[in-house]
Amino acid sequence: MDQPTLAPEKQLDATTVDEAIAYLRAEYADAVTLDDREGYGGVIVQSNRLVDVARAIRDDLGFDYLSSATAVDYLGAGDHLEMVYHAYRTSGGGSLVFKAQTDREQAEIPSLVPIWRGADFQEREAWDLMGIRFRGHPNLKRILMWEGFHGHPLRKDWREAYYEEDQKPFDNRWPGGQVYRVEERNVFGKNVTYPPDIDLGRLMDSSETAVYQSLGLGVDVERIMDKDGFETNELVVNMGPHHPSTHGVFRMVLTVDGETVTSLEPVMGYLHRNHEKIGERNTYLHNIPFTDRLDYISSMGNNHGYVLAVEQLMSLGRKYNPPTYRCEALRVMMVELSRIVNHLWAIGFWLNDIGAFFTPVLYFVQERERILDFFEAVAGSRMMCNYMRFGGLFGDLPERLKSVSNLTNDRVRDYNTMQFLTEMINERIPRTIDELERLLTQNEILLERSVGVGVLTREDAINYSAAGPLLRGSGVAYDIRRADPYSIYPELDFDIAVEDEGDMYARYRVRVAELRESVRILKQILPRLEATEGESIWADGKPGAYAPRVPHGEAYGRVENGKGELGYYVVSAGGRGGSANPWRYHVRAPSFINLTPMGIMSRGHKVADVVGILGSIDIVLGETDR
């Protein structure tokens, strides 16, 4: 594998995206064509030249960060599979989108892992769910499904076990809706096929073999090492899937030499529910509450990324009104509050992982409770907020955060909304952050456990497509709110938190600094809310339709979520009137991609540190497995 090099000082790496595309078309005239489908952008690259072009994009043009790599099945619309890559510059700016197409039957595309290690898991996912083989991928096996799984579930012609119809709404719900349980009609097994070599009587999962093989162990899980005449056994330890430190059902297979980790491979997919397939069956609106269930710690941010993507598509059409200023201010406020929730949670549970068992996390959770109470009173639910809509919101702030007694023993509360917010933002949250710092930042035990542990270098962080605090803890000042701004962030005054060390402690420091920056943003939002009091959250004064017109095209909406870059790649196959269901709906999940460098970060550390390193990445399995 060739080593990533930072782009040489050329004028080229300061070009605009259009100039970059022009350069590619000039340099690789035979391989690069413009993607001129209606509503699409970027270039289509001949797959045999893909690696060269990608290298030019990274080295010559300076697009050093591969944000997202995903596949689309164009069955019935060209009958090909397509890989879509979004590359960015860590210095900021828009995306260079390039695509490679391949036949559905013999799907094969060269792997970009030699250029961007961050493509590793994403290509494995594309192989797993779409069935594209990546020539030259070092470890091409399934990642979310098990190795013996039959078929590639995201292909358009694949049907899930409880399949009813291709698209919602289902016909039999109205007007002749006779209720039934899906499992009564469609008992498990009817839509499931198995590969011929599987013995259903003895369900053997061959993925285990594959995992151990990729660790270089063959089928034998033990290997005798001979070091300086001293005989040690290098052995395989499975941490998880049911392990309290893995933050959910997640597994790490490690080989250890004594207490020292020599290699590590994350194994995931235990919580996989094919979110993206569900998303393609859904209408655009249906997907909003489903995004809540990705990173369920920060559902506001999930909503935001998705509505941004769909709004991008809608803006291609004629009748589209962007959200009002008040709506944007409310969105930013909600998202920053959930960033605070996310970081308090992340720091708290990371401390659990490194031994400060539950005292700190419970202090922080108290503040989180207040914020969730606020979400509940405004959006209707504490965690599954389902608050944002295309072009607007579920509702404006209520005048009072008020409960009504209904059940026995109900105790009511009633606060003035703005007063509650002001007190939270000006007093309680800053006080908690101060406390957090007093409790932890100089704590000697914490320092010893975290300084110099789990180091991710700047180059690796970029090359492995790390995002969020993991990236900024490695000295890359890349925050989408500044690098590729959206909503009203450009007019807000805040700094990007960066630390250079790249270890666990640096990530902790970044999170604390981001907590403070979020408070700073919130303090600027409050006067904006007061100034826009009475303004509608909808551009035309009335709520949007439940079936918005979404014109033909593609869009990639991304936001800086608590855990890192959350992106939604949405393709609409709408005709003139628009379509009701997305053709493709892909989630670029920070919790998933941030695990790519987990192996190199853990190598050489102790088993107990692995737990801390995982905690310092901050994953949520709902988002990792999707």
Partner 1 sequence: MYGTGLAKGLLLTLRHFVDSYVDDIRYGFRKYHHSTDNFAVRQGTKTKGVITVQYPDEKVAVPERFRFVPFLIVEDEDHPTRSGKDWCTSCGICAKVCPPQCIWIVRGNDPNTGRPVPEPEAFFIDIDICMNCGFCAEYCPFDAIKMDHDYELASYDRTTHHIHDKERLSKPNSYWRGIAPTRAYEEMLARGTWEHKDAAKEARRGASGARASAPQPAPQAEVAAPAAASEAAPPAEASAPPAPAAEGATPWSEDDAKREERRRKALERKARRAAKRGQ
Considering only residues 318 through 377, tell me which ones interact with partner 1, judged by CB under 8 A: 324-326, 359, 363, 366, 369-370, 373, 376-377
Q: Tokens for 570?
A: 């949405």
Q: Is 1 in the site for partner 1 (CB under 8 A)?
A: no
DSSP conformational letter for 535 = -
Query: In terms of CB distance, is 76 or 534 closer to partner 1?
Result: 534
Q: Is 493 in the site for partner 1 (CB under 8 A)?
A: no
Cα–Cα nearest to 328, from 139, 485, 219, 175: 485
**Alpha-helix residue ranges (DSSP H) falling in 282-389:** 287-292, 299-314, 325-353, 359-379
Residues 156-185 interacting with partner 1 (rule: CB under 8 A): 164, 168-170, 172-179, 181
User: For the stretch 37-72, what's the b/e string if a residue is b when 16 or more beta carbons lie within 10 angstroms of its beta carbon?
Assistant: eebbbbbbbebebbbbbbebbbbbbbbbbbbbbbbb
Query: In terms of CB distance, is 256 or 401 closer to partner 1?
Result: 401
Taking the complex as a whole, the smallest distance from the CB of residue 111 to partner 1 amounts, in Å, to: 36
Longest distance between any two alpha carbons in the chain, whole Å:
80
Q: Is 141 in the site for partner 1 (CB under 8 A)?
A: no
How far is the C-alpha of 159 from the C-alpha of 564, rounded, in Å?
A: 32
215 phi and psi, to 5 degrees? -85, 5
Place of tokens 């391949």: 102
Q: Is 416 in the site for partner 1 (CB under 8 A)?
A: no
Three-state secondary structure call for residue 603? coil
Query: In terms of CB distance, is 326 or 549 closer to partner 1?
Result: 326
Binding partner 1 (rule: CB under 8 A), the pick from 30, 224, 409, 493 is 409
Kindly indicate which of the ranges 213-221, 444-452, 457-465, 473-481 contains the residues binding partner 1, using the contact rule CB under 8 A: 444-452
Binding partner 1 (rule: CB under 8 A), the pick from 452, 535, 573, 606 is 535
Query: In terms of CB distance, is 268 or 294 closer to partner 1?
Result: 294
Q: Is 150 in the site for partner 1 (CB under 8 A)?
A: no
Q: Is 536 in the site for partner 1 (CB under 8 A)?
A: yes
How far is the C-alpha of 613 from the C-alpha of 621, rounded, in Å?
A: 16
Going by C-beta distance under 8 Å and a sequence separation of 6 or more, which residues neighbour residue 370?
A: 424, 428
Binding partner 1 (rule: CB under 8 A), the pick from 441, 495, 577, 604 is 441
Q: Tokens for 322?
A: 């962007």
Number of residues binding to partner 1, judged by CB under 8 A:
84
Q: Tokens for 101?
A: 């197409």
Q: Is 296 exposed, middle or buried (0-12, 13-18, 19+ CB in 10 A)?
A: middle
Taking the complex as a whole, the smallest distance from the CB of residue 552 to partner 1 amounts, in Å, to: 23
Q: Is 570 in the site for partner 1 (CB under 8 A)?
A: no
Q: Is 302 in the site for partner 1 (CB under 8 A)?
A: no
Q: Tokens for 3?
A: 């080593």
Kindly indicate which of the ranges 30-38, 81-89, 252-260, 408-416 contains the residues binding partner 1, using the contact rule CB under 8 A: 408-416
Binding partner 1 (rule: CB under 8 A), the pick from 410, 490, 575, 576 is 410
Taking the complex as a whole, the smallest distance from the CB of residue 541 to partner 1 amounts, in Å, to: 6
Say if CB 372 and CB 297 are below 8 A apart.
no
Kindly indicate which of the ranges 150-158, 241-249, 420-428, 511-519 contains the residues binding partner 1, using the contact rule CB under 8 A: 420-428
Query: In terms of CB distance, is 74 or 345 closer to partner 1?
Result: 345
Cross-strand pairs, 584: 571
363 phi and psi, to 5 degrees? -60, -45
Binding partner 1 (rule: CB under 8 A), the pick from 32, 45, 330, 379 is 379
Query: In terms of CB distance, is 188 or 546 closer to partner 1?
Result: 546
How far is the C-alpha of 50 from the C-alpha of 577, rounded, in Å?
A: 35
Q: How far are the Cα atoms of 371, 431, 508 from residue 519, in angstroms, in the given order?
A: 13, 11, 17
Helical axes 325-353 vs 504-531, angle rounded to 10° = 150
Query: In terms of CB distance, is 72 or 372 closer to partner 1?
Result: 372
Taking the complex as a whole, the smallest distance from the CB of residue 370 to partner 1 amounts, in Å, to: 7
Specify the length of the chain in residues. Answer: 626
Taking the complex as a whole, the smallest distance from the CB of residue 168 to partner 1 amounts, in Å, to: 6
Query: In terms of CB distance, is 27 or 535 closer to partner 1?
Result: 535
Q: Is 333 exposed, middle or buried (0-12, 13-18, 19+ CB in 10 A)?
A: buried
Kindly indicate which of the ranges 333-341, 424-432, 513-521, 584-592 contains the residues binding partner 1, using the contact rule CB under 8 A: 424-432
String of contacts with partner 1 for each residue 254-293, x by CB under 8 A:
----------------------------xx-xxxxxx---
Binding partner 1 (rule: CB under 8 A), the pick from 428, 458, 482, 603 is 428
Q: Is 386 in the site for partner 1 (CB under 8 A)?
A: yes
Query: In terms of CB distance, is 203 or 545 closer to partner 1?
Result: 545
How far is the C-alpha of 96 from the C-alpha of 449, rounded, in Å?
A: 40
What is the enclosing helix (H) or strand (E) of 504? helix 504-531
Place of tokens 């270098």: 457
Q: Is 532 in the site for partner 1 (CB under 8 A)?
A: yes
Kindly indicate which of the ranges 144-152, 502-510, 526-534, 570-578 contains the residues binding partner 1, using the contact rule CB under 8 A: 526-534
Binding partner 1 (rule: CB under 8 A), the pick from 202, 318, 411, 576 is 411
Taking the complex as a whole, the smallest distance from the CB of residue 245 to partner 1 amounts, in Å, to: 22
Taking the complex as a whole, the smallest distance from the CB of residue 293 to partner 1 amounts, in Å, to: 8
Say if CB 626 and CB 273 are below 8 A apart.
yes
Binding partner 1 (rule: CB under 8 A), the pick from 445, 495, 500, 577 is 445
